[in-house]
Homo-oligomer: A and B are copies of this chain.
C-alpha cells in the first residue's frame, strides 16, 4: 500500500472493462496517478484533483520530461491551501491522455497502438475511470474534488453523476456546457493536427514521425486563449525579439511570436497529438445536462438545474475577471442552477490579471478561497 503515502507516483490496471458513454468498453485500462499525504483511518480525508486539458498527475512533483515543478505545486503540499499534512490528495492522469493512463497511444489488446481505434470518450468517461481508481484505493467518499477548466468539468460531472461520493466540489474557471466559441477554437486545433501529413489518420506511432507541426499550431492557437490581453500587453507588448528593427522577413520579429513558437514546439515534446484530439473532443462534447439525460423540454437554466437535481455536495464556484475563454457568465450559470437545485453554493469572481490561466498562477485570493472552503 505504498501508494497511499506521500509523495507517490503509481499506476494500476483495472480488472473489469470500463464502460464508456459511446457504447463501447475498454479492457485493461491502466491509470497513472500520484498521491500525497496519508489516507486517514476513517478514510474521510481524500481530495481528488482533476487536471486540465494538457495537465497530468504530476500536480506537485516535477514533470518527468520537462523537469519543471508540478503544475499546482503552489497549491498542493504541506501547509499549502490543499494541505497534504491534513488531506490525502489523489491526482490521476485522465483517460485518453498520454502520461501513463490508457489513451490512443497505448497498446490495444492486439499489441499495436490504438490510434484512431481508441474510442471517443467523454468527460463522464474520465470521471468513471477516476471512480474505479477510488474503488481500488479504498476511498468510498471524497472529502472533496477540485478542478480548474477541464478539471472543473470533471468535478461537476462527478458531483452530478456520483452524488454519494463527494462532499465538497471546487470548480474553477469552468463551464457546465462547452461554449460554442471554445468548440470553434478546439475544432481549429484538431484540424491543424489532422492537416499534418505526418498524422496519417492517427496511425503515426510506428512511422518514426509524429504530427509535431500540426500539434504545435494547435497549441499556439489554444495558448492565446489561455492568456489575457492584459498579460500579453504587459509581458510582450509590441516589443521586438532580439533585434532593433523589423526583419522584413518571416522569422519571429516580435517577442510574442517567438514565445508562441516556443510554446508550440516545446509542447510537442511532452504531449501526444492523438491525445489532444480525444481530450479536446471530450471537452467539446461536454454538456452536463445532456450527460444527465435532461432533454430540451427544460430550457436554459432550468435544464441545468435538473441536471444538478440529486447533488449532495457543497459547492464553491470561482471565475476570474480576465478569463475570456470560460468567462464569469459560465460560472454564474452553474451557481444559479445549483441554487435552483437547492444545493449549497458559494460563487465568486476573483480579480486576477492572467486570463484563463489565473487558476494556475499566483492569485493569493484563490489560495484563501480554496483553503477556506476545504477547512469547513
Give residues in A with beta carbon < 8 Å to B: 22-23, 116, 119-120, 177-181, 183-185, 187-188, 190-192, 194-197, 213-214, 216-217, 220-221, 224, 229, 232-233, 236-238, 246-250, 252-254, 256-257, 260-261, 264, 277, 281, 284-285, 287, 324
A192 touches B190 (CB 8 A): no
B260 touches A180 (CB 8 A): no
Other-chain residue from B116, B232, B253 in contact with A250 (beta carbon distance below 8 A) = B116
Copies in the complex: 2
- Docked Cα-Cα span, A224 to B180, in Å, equals 10
B187 touches A260 (CB 8 A): yes
| 5 shortest interchain CB distances as A-B pairs | A195-B213, A22-B248, A120-B248, A187-B257, A180-B232
- Docked Cα-Cα span, A324 to B233, in Å, equals 15
- Docked Cα-Cα span, A59 to B220, in Å, equals 34
Q: Given A120-B248, A181-B224, A277-B250, answer yes or no on A217-B192 (Cβ-Cβ < 8 Å).
A: yes
* Nearest CB of B to A122, in Å: 9
A256 touches B190 (CB 8 A): no
- Docked Cα-Cα span, A179 to B261, in Å, equals 18
Chain B CB within 10 Å, residue with most, of A119, A252, A281: A281
A256 touches B187 (CB 8 A): yes
Q: Which residues of the other chain, B, contact A191 by a CB distance below 8 angstroms? A: 216-217, 220, 260-261, 264
- Docked Cα-Cα span, A217 to B216, in Å, equals 13
* Nearest CB of B to A93, in Å: 22
A184 touches B260 (CB 8 A): yes
* Nearest CB of B to A307, in Å: 14
Chain B CB within 10 Å, residue with most, of A192, A213, A229: A192
Other-chain residue from B180, B221, B232, B233 in contact with A188 (beta carbon distance below 8 A) = B221
Other-chain residue from B195, B237, B246 in contact with A217 (beta carbon distance below 8 A) = B195
- Docked Cα-Cα span, A219 to B247, in Å, equals 25
Other-chain residue from B188, B220, B246 in contact with A224 (beta carbon distance below 8 A) = B188
- Docked Cα-Cα span, A236 to B188, in Å, equals 16
Q: Which residues of the other chain, B, contact A246 by a CB distance below 8 angstroms? A: 285
A188 touches B220 (CB 8 A): yes
Q: Given A248-B22, A264-B191, answer yes or no on A229-B179 (Cβ-Cβ < 8 Å).
A: yes
B194 touches A257 (CB 8 A): no
Q: Which residues of the other chain, B, contact A179 by a CB distance below 8 angstroms? A: 229, 233
B120 touches A180 (CB 8 A): no
Q: Look across to chain B and name the residue whose beta carbon is closest to the beta carbon of A257.
A: B187
Q: Look across to chain B and name the residue whose beta carbon is closest to the beta carbon of A116.
A: B250
Q: Which residues of the other chain, B, contact A285 by a CB distance below 8 angstroms? A: 246, 253
Q: Look across to chain B and name the residue whose beta carbon is closest to the beta carbon of A281.
A: B250
Q: Which residues of the other chain, B, contact A190 by a CB distance below 8 angstroms? A: 250
* Nearest CB of B to A303, in Å: 12
Show 15 residue pairs from A and B whose CB-CB distance is below 8 angstroms, ordered by the A residue.
Answer: A177-B238, A178-B238, A180-B229, A180-B232, A180-B233, A180-B256, A183-B257, A184-B220, A184-B232, A185-B224, A187-B252, A188-B217, A190-B250, A191-B260, A195-B217
